[in-house]
A and B are shown apart, each in its own frame.
Chain A
Amino acid sequence: MRELFWLIPFFPALGAAFFIIFGRVISKKLVSWLAPSLVGISFVFSLISFLQLKGVWIKELFSWIKIGNLSIPFAFQFDPLSSIMALTVSGVSFLIHVYSIGYMADDWGYKRYFAYLNLFTFSMLLLVLSANLPMMFVGWEGVGLCSYLLIGFWFEKDTAANAGKKAFIVNRVGDFGFLLGIFLLFSLFGDLSFSFINSHVEGISPEMATAAALLLFVGATGKSAQLPLYIWLPDAMEGPTPVSALIHAATMVTAGVYMVSRLFPLYHHSGFALNVVAWIGIITALFAATIALVQNDIKRVLAYSTISQIGYMFAGVGVGAVAAGMFHLFTHAFFKSLLFLAAGSVIHGVGTQDMREMGGLRRVMPATFWNFLIAALAISGIPGFAGFFSKDEILKEAFLSGHKWIWLIGVVTAGLTAFYIFRLIFMTFYGEKRGWDHAHESPVVMLIPMSILAFFSIVSGWIPTSFAKYLQPLGYIEIKEASHSTEIVLILISVAIAVLGIFVAWFVYVKRKGKGWNFGFIYKLLYGKYYVDELYNLIIVSPYRKGSELINRYFDTGVIDRTVEGSGELAMNGGKLLSRLQTGLLKDYGLWMTVGIITGLFFAIRSLL
């Protein structure tokens, strides 16, 4: 495998190319078989490579860009970090491909959908397997592209088209920073491979490291939907639900966390940048969780939940616990995509995304309900489920490394998380039915992937220590040992707060049937998502549009083009004026001639005298 692991991304690429070129002539059935199996092959390759991996594998295919001292090979890297990502990505992607066969069965863009989904898997695998920053950037923008294509998949809906465009542009804002970060790193190191940067990071000043790390982090906030660039993710829910599960929950949005983990030595060297990562992460976690408390669209709740959970991951990496952050990324991939798939199953059955029109679905969709419940328990941090271990790991690390405030906010957010996710469950599956009539359970092809994910939503959390140990060859993984008593206290606190959150949700939405829930101003503020979109519109989007329009009308046409036309008119009018002399009368010409001769003679004679 050592020589062949670089093939991992290319199986789905093959599929994407094949579907795009021959989409017209191949049958739907072929697509349904081929698309998941190609991703399956990637998964198998990843698994074999994972099992065989020792140390770091680097495979250089050819020299991609080479000018002067700039040399970027087309190279892949397989090490503990990327192996985990490759496994997660290809595994979850495979399951979601299978699920999509059922979910998208009746869609007119079936083949196009799988082409995009395969293309996405390719880009994402490219991202995680790249050995240098520009290569990573290829995948980085590639996943952004697929995200754009898939969010706007139902492009006839204006909201979907807008959401796709918004996602791409906001991501581009982040990529702008990312690109400048790459340039800065190049001017500092003269080499852009991860291994070189990570091993030579001591050679640059911490200030420069801070600048580069923060610029790259701007890219991460865009891709991973963190403050202040998170605004595209809630809108991205316009895409098909399996897409939300795969791209906007499990894989793409965690790319930022992966990038920071990958370049952790750089962030560590800066110190300040690492703190920024932690704080942005935890504030985003709290911020998004509060919004999720009051949303009524089932997918939007999950979207804000994703933003919040990724915030946790950044907080984890930011306090120095790369293993904990990556571990949460790993478990989150399972339970969050399960949440989305289960929500998709609900939407598939009910035909609406508004939770106020659901209710009582527990009886008609039992399998979906149980899957959802497992995932909800996992994200709430109930002991025994995956989320408990990984979230706890982050909170513990934050506490032990002395970031008491981050720990506190994290704990509060955990309570909010438990509340909003169970609010979702109670509104959807409990109570009496509202506004739906022909709900039905989803087909097996959708339920099986969900069950597999449910399985992993439980067991994937059971390995925190071996996970960290596995990552240790990276060289910057510390495993902190806490005293037993501290650990137990921390666990008790977070479990208590999770249970409290669930209880409050039960109390409000089951006991009181959602009545008496009115906080007036705060509710409005949260429901309006803090009006951040409106703010951005006000200070960036519309000034740019209005300004451009004004410049176009008054400056481009009014001044520049006017000047150009004016010079033309000047020549025209000047000519017209002079042409008055051309009377057509012989006499006048004679007169001018005489005048000319006399003047000439005058000067000639004067010069003689």
Chain B
Amino acid sequence: MKKIAVCYKWVLNDADIRVNEKSRDLDVEKSKPQINEYDRNGLATGVMLKESAGAAELVGVTCGADTEPSAKDALSRGPDVVYYLSDPALAQADSTASSKVLAAMIRSLGDVDVVICSECSSDEYAQQVGPRLAALLGWPSVSYVSAVSVNGDTLTLDRKLEEGTETVTVKAPVVIVVSPDVCDAPIPGVKQILSAKKKPSHALTLAGIGLSAETVKPLAAVQSVKAPLTSRKAVNLMADGESVAEAVAKLVKQLSTEGVL
């Protein structure tokens, strides 16, 4: 095999997103971008596959409004090189647009045998980009992959579905969409972080891969993004300096009254 490419998405850390209680808008001020958690397992799968397939190169691929800062982090997780595409036109990219851009990026790289995507992104959770990308490339795809092995240009994959596990074989070129349990994603150590600084990363442009801002326009117009109302009371049972035992006694009484204990 020549190249294995891993698509990773640069997303906001959702743990730091807050809701403005009045407007129900999202406050993303404190939230920093990071590599989509699920894609860390995708990158680890790439490292494992490169080794077992004896592939020449592991490539990281990402696109979005501002993806350059992602390269260092991605490179510390195993790829030999990262290709990123940043364009303001992608700030509103939906799954349709993202998969079109990624397909054109993969084509422009050439010699890619396996593309690895993860099941979903932590922001939209659409679970669409991997299979869409395969359809656009005209390649077979296998989704919900929980185990991977390789022999020459043939991959054997386990898919975890609702009804059970399906084992399939498929020849490269192929897009595989991995679930988080496919392999562990080790946290990069000092050595990996230092060696990432020496690895190359390259910027691609929409025009350079033959696309225009027009072709990546979303097919649906966003009307609103609002947090739903929560109606929980959030009663602090230790608000008046109660001991744990007192708080528990209050809780038991309350739950019994509500008839839920």
Q: Do the two chains bind?
A: no
Question: A residues engaging B (CB < 8 A)?
Answer: none
Which residues from chain B sit less than 8 Å from chain A, CB to CB? none
